[in-house]
Structure 1
Amino acid sequence: MKTKINFTLFGLFTLLIGAIYANSGNAMDDQTNTTSTTLAELQKDKPKKQYVKIALLLDTSNSMDGLINQAKSQLWDIVNEFSYAKCANESRPELQIALYEYGNDDLASTEGYMRQVLNFSGDLDLISEKLFSLSTNGGEEYCGEVIHKSLEQLQWGKNEDDLKLIFIAGNEPFTQGKLNYKDAATQAKEKNVVVNTIFCGAYEQGIRSSWKDGATLTGGEYMAIDQNKKIVHIETPYDEVIIKLNHKLNNTYIQYGSLGAKKYEAQSAQDAEAAYVAKEVAVKRAVSKSSRLYNNASWDLVDAYDKDQIALSDLKPSQLPEVLKNKTEKEIEAYITLKKAERAQIQQAIQKQNAKRQKFIEEHTKEEDGKLENAMLSAIKKQAATKDFKW
C-alpha cells in the first residue's frame, strides 16, 4: 500500500533580421561594408532562449504519506536554485514544471491509473495549487508507462541546449506494467530527457527493484529516501522578517482582466498552503516570489505593463480593480510605476534577508538534514552542468 503524494512541490524564438544593401559606386560599397551585418552574425549575437523543463511523476497510491511534507517544499527549492542560474550565453533560463500522478485507484484503469495534472507551466502559483490538490488511494504503479506518457504528451522541444529532466518517485518495483521501463528510457534518450528516480525505501531494495537501472539508462541519478523520516526545518532569525515582507509584497499586485480576482486570491491561498506545512516552507515560497521566475503578467498589471504585454488604452473600466476605475491613462500609469518601485524594493529586501538566512542554515545544517532536498538539487546541478549552466 502507498500514500498519496501531495506536493507543495517555450519553444524556440529566433529573430531573423536581414540588412542587405545593393548600391553602386566605390564610396557606397565602402559604406555598405562597414554598416551592413550578415544574418549569421546577428543570429550569433542574439542569445537563444533556453528552458529548464522538469516533469514530476508522483506515485499517489497508499504508502507515502511521510513523503508529502518533504515534497511540498521541494518546488520552492528548485525555483530558488534556478533563479540564480545562467546559461552559457549569459542569458537566464526559463523554468517550466509539469506534473503527473500515477498508481491511484481513483484514476481510470483504461489510462493505466495515471493522468496529467499539469502541462508544462511557469505559473508558480498554479504549480503549487496542483501539487497541494493531490490525494492518495491504492492502485497499480506503472513506472514505464507514466514515463512514456509524459514523453509523448509534453512539448519537450528540440533545443539540445535546454535542460530536460524527469523526476519519478515511488516505492513499488519499477518493472510493473505492460510497457518495459527500458523502452521508456530509450524514448527519453531520443528526446534528450534525463530520468531521475526517487525510491521511497531502502537503497538496496530500490536497486533490486530496478529503480537504479531506470535512472542509469538515461544518465540520471538514483536516490533512495526514508519517506517516513521527519523533515528537519531549520528556523532562523530572519524567517519572520521575510514573511512580513511577503505580506507587503502581495500588496504591490494590481489585478486586472477576467483572471485577476481569482489569481490574486490564489496567490494568498498558496501562501497559506505553504505556511500550513511549515513556516520555513512559507519562507522558501516568499523567496521564490522575490525572484525573476515569479511572473504574473496574465493577471497583474505591473508585470504585464513591464513586459509590454498590455496596452493601457485597451483596458476597459470593468477590467480594472476599484482603485483604478474612472482613472485616466496617465493616472493608471503613475500608479503602476509606484507599485513597481515598491515591489522592487521589497523583493530586494527579501533577497538580502535570505542571504543572511542561507548563511545561518549552512552553519547549522547537519549532514543528514534535508535528504530529499539535497539529493534532488545535487542531481539537478550535476545535470545542468552538462548544458553549461552556471551559478
Structure 2
Amino acid sequence: MKTKILFSIPLLSSVAFACGSYAAGPFPTHLPSDPQDKVQIALLLDTSNSMDGLIEQAKTQLWKVVNSFNDAKRGGRAPFVEVALYEYGNNGLHIGNNWIRQVEPLTRDLDEISRELFAFRTNGGDEYCGAVIQRALADLSWDPSPRTYKAVFIAGNEPFTQGPVDARQACRDAMAKGIVVNTIHCGSREEGISGAWHDGAALAEGKFLSINQDKAVVHIDAPQDKQIAALGIDLNKTYLGYGVHAKEGAAKQMSEDNNAAANAGAGAAQQRAVSKASFNYCNTSWDLVDACREGTVKLADIPAAQLPEAMKTMTPEQREAHVKQMTETRASLQQKIMTLNREREAFVAEALKKQAETTGEQTLDQAIVATVKGQATAVGYSFGQ
C-alpha cells in the first residue's frame, strides 16, 4: 500500500492604516510583514493510491493547524503564518520531476491552499521522500533568520529512503538551513522505524510521529459551534473588493466557506471561521480593509472604477468613513469569534484528552499542532490565552 503525505503547513490593539487611523480589532500592533515574527510551514502531500483518508484529514484540518498560532506570542508580538504546498508520488505528474509538483509557494493566501487541497485526486505512483524534501529546500523562499520557525512535515508508509535522492542527506541539508523536518508514518510506530522514518526526523532535529491515516476526524460538538460558523459567514459582508482580483477573491472565499461547511462533521467550518478571525487570514490583493490595514494601498490612489460598486459615487471622505466602518465591524465580529472559541476550547479539552487516552491514536491535525507548538517554543514563542 502506498500512503504518504508531507504536511507542513492574535490580539487587540490600535493600528495605523494607510487609509487613515482606524480602530482595530484582533490584530497585532506590528505589521505582519515584520520578518522577525514569521512562521513558515511546508506541506508536501503524497497523492498516490490509498491516500484518500489522509488527504481528507488535510482538507478539513488545515485551519486547525494555522489556528495553533493564533495565541502565540514572542516579546508581545504574534507571528504570521506562510504555508507552501507540494504533491508527489502521483503518476499523473511528470517523471522527469520525480513525480513532484509545487502546488503553491510559501503564501498567506489560505483560501488558495484550501482550494488546491480540495482539488487533489489520488493516483498510483512512486514516492520519493528525499527528492521532494530537496525540491522544497531549493524552491521555497525560506527566511534566513534563525528566529523564524521553519518546518517541513512529511508522512507516509513506504520506506523513507526510496528514490534517486538520499533522503538522509536531504534532511541534513534542511538542518543546515535551520529547517526542521518532521516525519509522520502512516501506520504502526514499529513499521515506521524499520522504514527509516525515525532517521529523517533525528537528522533534522524534528519529530517522528505515527498516525492512523484512515481514522475519521471526530468533531466534538460544543454549544458555541453554530454561532462561530455563522459569524464566520458574517465576516464576508465586511470585505470590500477592489482592483482586478476582487471578483476572483470573493468567489474563492465563498467557495472555501462552502467546502468547509460541507465538512461540518470534522469541524472545518468552525475552524475556518476562527482562522478568518485572525490576521493570518489575509487578503490584501483584493480586499480594501486588509490592504489598508497593512499599508499595501492608499485609498486615495485607487481609481473609482476599481472600487466596490457602492463606493464609486462616494466622496473621498465618505470612502474613508465606509472603509473605517467595515474595519470596525470586522474587528467586532472577530473579537466575538475569538471569545467564543476560547469558551469552546475549554469545553472540548477534556473530551479530546479522554478520546486520546482511550484510542491511543492521533489524527493528522493532532500530530502537527502538538509538534509545531513544541518546536516554535524553542525559538521563543509562548502559547496561551
Q: Per the shorter chain, which TM-score range?
A: 0.7 to 0.9
Following superposition, the deviation at residue 313 of structure 1 comes to 2.2
Mean Cα deviation higher: 248-257 or 273-282: 273-282
1:243 positional shift: 1.4
Provide the aligned length of Structure 1 versus Structure 2: 353
Q: Which runs of structure 2 are paired with 1:183-198 in the superposition (5 Å)? A: 183-198=169-184
1:385 aligns to 2:377 (yes or no): yes
Runs (4+) of structure 1 moved beyond 3 Å?
1-9, 368-371
| CA shift for structure 1 position 306 | 2.3
Q: Is there any run of 5+ residues in structure 1 with no aligned partner, and where?
A: 10-46
Which region of structure 1 is more displaced relative to structure 2, 104-113 or 182-191? 182-191
Shift of 1:308: 2.4
8 Å contact kept, 1:8–1:132: no
1:331 aligns with 2:318: yes
In structure 2, the CA distance between the partners of 1:125 and 1:173, relative to structure 1 (3 Å rule), is same
| Contact 1:297-1:303 within 8 A present in 2 as well | yes
What SS is found at the alignment partner of 1:310? coil
Cα distance in 1, alignment partners of residues 367 and 7 from structure 2: 16
What is residue 363 of structure 1 aligned with on the other side?
Answer: 350
Change (3 A) 1:186 1:167: same
1:6, 1:171 → 2: CA distance?
A: 11
Moved more, 355-364 or 304-313: 304-313
Deviations 1:42-62 (A, max 9, x none): xxxxx8623111001111100
Q: 1:272 to 1:370 in 2, by over 3 A?
A: farther
Q: Structure 1 residue aligned with 2:87, among 98, 101, 104?
A: 101
Out of 286, 307, 311, the residue aligned to residue 299 of structure 1 is: 286
Structure 1's 390 and 8: CA in aligned 2 closer, same or farther, altered over 3 A? closer
Q: CA deviation at 1:8?
A: 12
Higher deviation after alignment, 311-320 or 136-145 = 311-320
For the pair 1:173 / 2:153, whether they are aligned, the reply is no
Counterpart secondary structure, 1:49 = helix
**How far 1:4 sits from its partner (Å)?**
8.6
Tell me the amino acid that sits aligned with residue 371 of structure 1: T
Q: Which amino acid aligns with 1:174?
A: F
Change (3 A) 1:266 1:7: farther
Give yes or no for contact 1:4–1:134 (8 Å, CA) kept in 2.
Answer: no
Amino acid at match of 2:40: K
Aligned to 1:270: 256
Counterparts of 1:127-206 in structure 2, within 5 Å, are 127-206=113-192
**Does the CA contact (< 8 Å) of 1:60 and 1:101 recur in 2?**
yes
Aligned pair partner of 1:79 in 66, 78, 88: 66
Deviation at 1:278, TM superposition (A): 2.4
The 1:251–1:6 alpha-carbon spacing in structure 2 relative to 1, beyond 3 Å, is: farther
Instruction: Tell me the SS of whatever aligns to 2:72.
Output: coil
1:370–1:324 CA distance, 2 compared to 1 (3 A): farther
Q: 1:49 pairs with 36, 48, 64, which one?
A: 36
1:221 aligns with 2:200: no
Q: How does 1:63-78 map to 2 (within 5 A)?
A: 63-78=50-65
SS for the counterpart of 1:57 is strand
Q: Deviations over 1:300-359 (max 9, x none)?
A: 111112222222222222201211122111111111111111111111111111111111
RMSD of aligned residue pairs (Cα, Å): 1.9
Partner Cα distance (1:381, 1:266) in 2: 29
Bigger drift between 360-369 and 78-87 goes to 360-369
Letter of the aligned partner of 2:141 in structure 1? Q
Residue 91 of structure 1 corresponds to which residue in structure 2?
Answer: 77
Q: Distance in 1 between matches of 2:176 and 2:4?
A: 31
> For 2:148 and 2:193, how far apart are their aligned partners in 1?
29
- The yes-or-no answer on 1:247 pairing with 2:233 is yes
Inter-partner Cα distance in structure 1 for 2:48 and 2:243: 39
How far did 1:69 drift?
A: 2.5
Tell me the CA shift for residue 153 of structure 1.
0.8
In 2, the alpha carbon distance for the partners of 1:48 and 1:62 equals 39
Cα distance between partner residues in 2 of 1:349 and 1:231:
26
**Alignment partners' CA distance in 1, 2:7 and 2:365:** 13
Partner of residue 298, structure 2: 311
Letter in 2 for 1:236: A
Contact kept in structure 2, 1:101 and 1:117, CA below 8 Å: yes
1:282 maps to which of 243, 264, 269: 269
Change (3 A) 1:319 1:4: farther
Taking the aligned partners of 2:6 and 2:122, their CA distance within structure 1 comes to: 8
Find the residue that maps to 1:248 and give its secondary structure. helix
- CA shift, 1:261, in A, is 1.1
**Residue 259 and residue 243 in structure 1: after superposition, are their counterparts in 2 closer, same or farther (change >3 A)?**
same
TM-score w.r.t. length of structure 1: 0.86
The 8 Å contact of residues 87 and 103 in structure 2, kept in 1 or not, is answered as: yes
More displaced stretch, 343-352 vs 74-83: 74-83
In structure 2, distance between residues paired with 1:68 and 1:312: 41
How far did residue 363 of structure 1 move? 3.1
Kindly provide the amino acid, as one letter, of the partner of residue 285 in structure 1.
Answer: R
